[in-house]
Amino acid sequence: MLKGFFNVPKAVNEPVKGYAPNSPEKDAVLSAYQNMWNSKVDVPLYIGSEEIRTGNTRNITAPHDHKHVVGSYHLAEKTHVEKAISNALASREKWANMAWEQRAAIFLKAAELIAGPYRARINAATMIGQSKNIHQAEIDASCELIDFLRYNVEFMTQIYNDQPKSDSTTWNRLEYRPLEGFVYAITPFNFTAIAANLPASAAMMGNVVVWKPSDSQVFSAKVITDVFKEAGVPDGVINVVFGDALMITDTVLASPDFAGVHFTGSTHVFKEIWAKIGANINRYKTYPRIVGETGGKDFIIAHPSANVKQVATGIVRGAFEFQGQKCSAASRAYIPQSLWPAVKEQVISDVKSMKMGSPEDFGNFITAVIHEGSFDKLAKYIDQAKKDADAEIIVGGNYDKSVGYFVEPTVIVTTNPKYTTMETELFGPVITIYVYEDAKWGETLELVDTTSEYALTGAVFSQDRYAIEVATTKLQNAAGNFYINDKPTGAVVGMQPFGGARASGTNDKAGSALNLLRWVSPRTIKETFVTPEDYRYPFLG
């Protein structure tokens, strides 16, 4: 163990590169894209020091060109999951006992590898495998992931620094132990940064991990594992298994050493996992930590005093960037009658100006949705809206899956504030708008608060400070991330800690010390310098 209280580099947010025509970053990412597009990757399971190829494989394809195969990945069987657990546990003691600054160095190095030599590759993988345009790939796979790693190292040191009082007779210490067992990270398709952060944040605090990425994010998950390896994450600390989510989860949750789940994904899956943990509670050696960030039905409400252009831009960017597949994406909006004609005009003209196609063409704002299941679900709701008397599609409404899973950005206007698409998370480029009478501001806030089971993000647009105050108070529990005069997406690590409540998750705020605290089990150490040698207190005379 080295001697010294070490300071870590001050965390700074990674600047977002512009990818303007002829810029070096544009050339680099397009060259990486073309290389990856024209070769085939073979992604194994990563268990301990082994790369396991089970031979039972599935293709990796691009959502915007679903017949184009860019590789394949190997699916785990139950024995592989058990092996991942035993490798994690075998690596635990050494990793948990490693000095914190060594762990910090590994993850700081990972951040710099992504900022430099891996940037083009991780962005290109995200563009191909998850169909993000270059800006969306850059802010996620590069910048947000770099920020998670840098800030979490700083938060880790803040946590370790948080120590109880002592006096001259006793010295009190808090030791931030990792959990006793292993952590299970289950990650979604929609953010490369989240996929990396869920296993990395637990590992950074000294835990060993079994990580199950989404089937729709394997391409960039492979780059993440390459980065972690090069940065020096030891074998067995983060074990990666792909395949049948139910089987993998059931196998993991059956282990007595299961110590916590770090989940991001849909609400029903998280509730199912929670119920299984409850049913298995007598098996476990310790009460598992249950951390989950889940769905949203994120809102925009405009007050009659709002600026029309700002509202329309908030709707268009908030609802349609990355095809609406952000948990924070605006998917219901409440606009006063007095502003509606102007807002409507701008929203329609903005949407009509958006180009849709492959992310390789940087002129495309919109690309494909993630997979056929998502496409079919969106098509179903759009078709229903075309039939329903209380709904009208004012722009978009077309879809085509012949080449890629393309769904036009679609705006539904409803006269029914409880219309199905005002309440249900669709997770695609569809927003539903309810136009309210200007005088019904208070009632409309009530509607916003009570219309969906979720409480992830929401935004109010207003130039009237009283209205902002009323909305901020009334909607206190309607969103874990609340925006004033801004779209409800685009949280930045270190600036807007992210997470929601109600059915949207446990609100453990990714990108903050609050999240890292879930991955430690503090031990209090009291040391007495002059220890009593007689049981009698003075009052006994």
- The Cα–Cα gap between 320 and 351 comes to 9
Least Å distance, CB 412 to ligand NAD, is 19
Pick between residue 207 and residue 489 the one whose CB is nearest to ligand NAD. Answer: 489
**293 tagged catalytic:** yes
Restricted to residues 320-359, the positions that interact with ligand NAD (CB under 6 A) are 327
Residue 372 touches ligand NAD, criterion: CB under 6 A? no
Residues 342 and 441 sit within 8 Å (Cβ to Cβ): no
- Mark 249-268 with x for binding to ligand NAD (rule: CB under 6 A) and - for no binding: x--------------xxx--
Q: How far is the C-alpha of 539 from the C-alpha of 436, rounded, in Å?
A: 73
Residue 53 is given by DSSP the state: -
Return the residue of 61, 187, 507, 515 that touches ligand NAD, per CB under 6 A. 187
Q: How many residues bind ligand NAD (CB under 6 A)?
A: 31
Q: How far is the CB of 371 from ligand NAD (least distance, A)?
A: 9
Give the nearest distance from C-beta 443 to ligand NAD in angstroms: 28
**264 forms bridges with which residues in the sheet?**
293
Asked whether 150 and 12 are in contact (CB, 8 A), the reply is yes
Q: Are 395 and 352 in contact (CB under 8 A)?
A: yes
Q: Which is nearer to ligand NAD, 17 or 332 (CB)?
A: 332
Find the shortest distance in angstroms from Cβ 188 to ligand NAD.
Answer: 3
* Binding residues for ligand NAD restricted to 300-319, rule: CB under 6 A: none
Among the listed residues 327, 360, 408, 425, the single catalytic one is 327
In 3D, which of 139, 132, 129 has the Cα closest to residue 43? 129
Smallest gap from residue 190 Cβ to ligand NAD (A): 5
Closest CA to 285 of 176, 179, 438: 179
Instruction: Name which position in 178, 234, 295, 458 contacts ligand NAD (CB under 6 A).
Output: 295
Specify the 3-state DSSP secondary structure of 448: helix
269 binds ligand NAD, rule: CB under 6 A: yes
Kindly state whether residue 212 participates in binding ligand NAD, applying the rule CB under 6 A.
yes
Looking at 52-60, 79-87, 292-300, 530-538, which segment touches ligand NAD (CB under 6 A)?
A: 292-300
In the complex, least distance from residue 32 CB atom to ligand NAD, rounded to whole angstroms: 24
Distance CA 455, CA 476 (A): 10
SS (H, E, C) 84-113: HHHHHHHHHHHHHHCCHHHHHHHHHHHHHH
Q: Which of 293, 321, 360, 408 is catalytic?
A: 293
Site track 427-466 with ligand NAD (rule: CB under 6 A), x = hit: x----------------------------x----------
Q: Is 321 among the catalytic positions?
A: no
What gap in Å lies between CA 328 and CA 324, rounded to an integer? 9
Part of the chain binding ligand NAD (CB under 6 A), chosen from 59-67, 77-85, 188-196, 358-366: 188-196
In whole angstroms, what separates CA 426 from the centre of its chain?
17
**Rounded Cα gap, residues 204 and 152, in angstroms:** 8
Asked if residue 191 binds ligand NAD (CB under 6 A), the reply is yes
- Cα 243 to Cα 84: distance, rounded to the nearest angstrom: 13
Closest approach, Cβ 491 to ligand NAD, in A, equals: 9
3 state DSSP class of 56: coil
- Residue selected from 180, 230, 272, 527 as contacting ligand NAD according to rule CB under 6 A: 272
List the one residue from 178, 260, 488, 505 that touches ligand NAD (CB under 6 A): 505
Query: Taking the complex as a whole, how short is the minimal distance between the CB of residue 246 and ligand NAD, in angstroms?
Result: 5
Compare residues 246 and 279 and give the one whose CB is closer to ligand NAD. Answer: 246
With contact defined as beta carbons under 8 Å apart, do 514 and 501 qualify?
no
Token pair recorded at residue 84: 């991942």
Yes or no: say if 260 and 202 are a contact pair by the CB < 8 Å rule: yes
- Which among 232, 183, 173 has a CA at the least distance from the CA of 520? 183
Between the CA of residue 224 and those of 35, 217, 383, 453, what are the distances in Å?
A: 18, 11, 39, 34
Binding interface with ligand NAD (CB under 6 A): 186-191, 194, 212, 214-215, 245-246, 249, 264-266, 269, 272-273, 293-296, 327, 425, 427, 456, 498, 500, 504-505
Q: Which residues participate in catalysis according to the annotation?
A: 293, 327
